[in-house]
A and B are shown apart, each in its own frame.
Chain A
Amino acid sequence: MTTALAHSPAAALDFVPGAPPPATLRADIWRGIAAENPVLVQMLGMCPTMAVTNVLANGIAMGVATTFVLVGSGLFVSLLRKYIAHEVRITSYILIIATFVTLADLLLAASFPEISKALGPFIPLIVANCLLLGRAEAFAAKVGPVRAVADGMGMGIGFTLSLAAMSAIRELLGRGSLLGFDILGPRWEPWVFMVLPAGGFFTLGLLLITAAWIDELRRRRRALEAK
């Protein structure tokens, strides 16, 4: 009985093992921004997070490019989910992702050649960002195209916001400027450390410790209220 059900196309939709529970579109988008933020909570996509966040413009460009690939690959993985055989699914997802990454690479090189040059091989390296394969496998392959796009948007926005926060801190302290505009004035002594690779690890470490600190404060307040 159950096998017959599972083979009928209408039931197959509801019978995906491990499918995410139904949620509103708003919840699908919001999840990637806060509760499952790719960088601060899931710790996925670390390489671009560190490598391109020494200047705010680069961080935002990388975030937007990754969002584009997340939405595009999510849509196509979801549309093709019933035609991709289980055994070759990872390869197929990688191919879809690589196609969108190539698109993003060429579009960026055509419209913003300077940013494209600054990001260099890190745009093609979006293919190897585990966030993309992770979302394709865990979400897009199990839901309809609308939800997949919403999830891609949410994750992309969450990723972009984390990158923007990281790069704003690093550019402000490391160069005294934001988006190239001088903010802290000529008397500011730039912290060269922040734009060095070590500053990337350090900034993310401090962000994580701050997030854990806020969590801990909240937990304590709740414990006090419970008493």
Chain B
Amino acid sequence: MSNLAWIFVSTLLVNNFTLVMFLGLCSFFGVTAKIETAWRLGLANTFVLIITAVSAWILNTYILTRTPYLRTIAFIVVIASAVQIVEMAVKKYLPVLFRQLGIYLPLITTNCAILGLALFQTSRRYNFVEGLVFALGAGFGLTLALSLLASIRERMEVADVPVIARRMGLVLVAASCLSLAFMGFAGMGSQ
């Protein structure tokens, strides 16, 4: 049990997917202009991460045991189709949620956090439950990082900043400070 709790806290804070492991940076910089869209995308990502963890576990246990060299190709194809199926299901049964997520749902396929989760899950040999907890921690960690950066950026909008730093430069420096703050969790243990 404590092992599961450790996996959750470790992926949520100590090894935060975005700020410490550098996964999913495109959406981290692309959609964090507004806090509203940022946390919604984070939750959509969490949802897809859980599906990915389940499908990666199935692939690893039953299909890829004899053909490890097909890993990358198999993962990306299964993730892309899973996202497509989820998108169709959400569109049919939860139209309100679908409208809220909009373009972000299909875009999640090319988020490296998703493929990264499947690869790390494989290299660390997590079992089914551990994989699920890993996905949950990673998803909440992403949501946390996205919301934090979005709230900083909303404040920076109204700040008086030199012209040369107006665009991405300052956002990156802010992300650096955020990442430095997360380094404070590194003392919580090493795994």
Question: Is B71 touching A124 in the complex (CB atoms < 8 A)?
Answer: yes
Residues of B contacting A204 with CB < 8 Å? 172
Residues of B contacting A215 with CB < 8 Å? 164
Residues of A contacting B169 with CB < 8 Å? 205-206, 208-209, 212
Question: Is B72 touching A127 in the complex (CB atoms < 8 A)?
Answer: yes
Report Cα–Cα, A215/B90, bound state, in Å: 46
Report Cα–Cα, A43/B25, bound state, in Å: 10
Is B119 located at the chain interface by the 8 A CB criterion?
A: yes
Report Cα–Cα, A127/B118, bound state, in Å: 13
Report Cα–Cα, A102/B71, bound state, in Å: 8
Residues of B contacting A197 with CB < 8 Å? 19-22, 179, 183
CB-contact partner of A106 in B28, B69, B172, under 8 A: B69
Is B85 located at the chain interface by the 8 A CB criterion?
A: no
Report Cα–Cα, A202/B21, bound state, in Å: 15
Is A184 located at the chain interface by the 8 A CB criterion?
A: no
Residues of A contacting B179 with CB < 8 Å? 196-198, 201
| Nearest CB of chain B from residue A94's CB, rounded to whole Å | 6
Is B48 located at the chain interface by the 8 A CB criterion?
A: no
| Nearest CB of chain B from residue A187's CB, rounded to whole Å | 26
Question: Is A91 touching B173 in the complex (CB atoms < 8 A)?
Answer: no
| Nearest CB of chain B from residue A188's CB, rounded to whole Å | 22
CB-contact partner of B116 in A125, A208, A212, under 8 A: A125
Is B129 located at the chain interface by the 8 A CB criterion?
A: no
8 Å CB contacts to A: which residues of B36-77? 69-73, 76-77
Closest to A207 in B: B169
| Nearest CB of chain A from residue B54's CB, rounded to whole Å | 19
Question: Is B73 touching A95 in the complex (CB atoms < 8 A)?
Answer: yes
Closest to A106 in B: B69
Is A199 located at the chain interface by the 8 A CB criterion?
A: yes
Question: Is A124 touching B72 in the complex (CB atoms < 8 A)?
Answer: yes
Question: Is B165 touching A212 in the complex (CB atoms < 8 A)?
Answer: yes
Report Cα–Cα, A99/B72, bound state, in Å: 8
Is B137 located at the chain interface by the 8 A CB criterion?
A: no
Interface residues on B, range: 35 or more
Residues of B contacting A199 with CB < 8 Å? 176
Is A138 located at the chain interface by the 8 A CB criterion?
A: no
Q: Which of A18-26, A44-52, A157-165, A167-175 contacts B (4 or more CB under 8 A)?
A: A44-52
Report Cα–Cα, A130/B123, bound state, in Å: 24
Question: Is B183 touching A47 in the complex (CB atoms < 8 A)?
Answer: no
Report Cα–Cα, A213/B166, bound state, in Å: 11
Residues of A contacting B116 with CB < 8 Å? 121, 125, 128
Is A36 located at the chain interface by the 8 A CB criterion?
A: no
Closest to B21 in A: A51
Is B100 located at the chain interface by the 8 A CB criterion?
A: no
| Nearest CB of chain A from residue B168's CB, rounded to whole Å | 6
Is B170 located at the chain interface by the 8 A CB criterion?
A: yes
Is A65 located at the chain interface by the 8 A CB criterion?
A: no
Question: Is B110 touching A43 in the complex (CB atoms < 8 A)?
Answer: no
Report Cα–Cα, A206/B171, bound state, in Å: 11
Question: Is B173 touching A205 in the complex (CB atoms < 8 A)?
Answer: yes
The 7 closest A-B pairs by CB, nearest first: A205-B172, A201-B176, A128-B112, A209-B169, A46-B25, A51-B22, A202-B176
7 A-B interface contacts by CB (under 8 A): A94-B77, A95-B73, A125-B119, A127-B115, A130-B110, A201-B179, A205-B172
Known A102-B73, A121-B120, A209-B165; further 10 A-B contacts with Cβ < 8 A: A50-B22, A51-B21, A94-B76, A101-B72, A127-B72, A128-B112, A196-B180, A197-B19, A197-B20, A205-B172
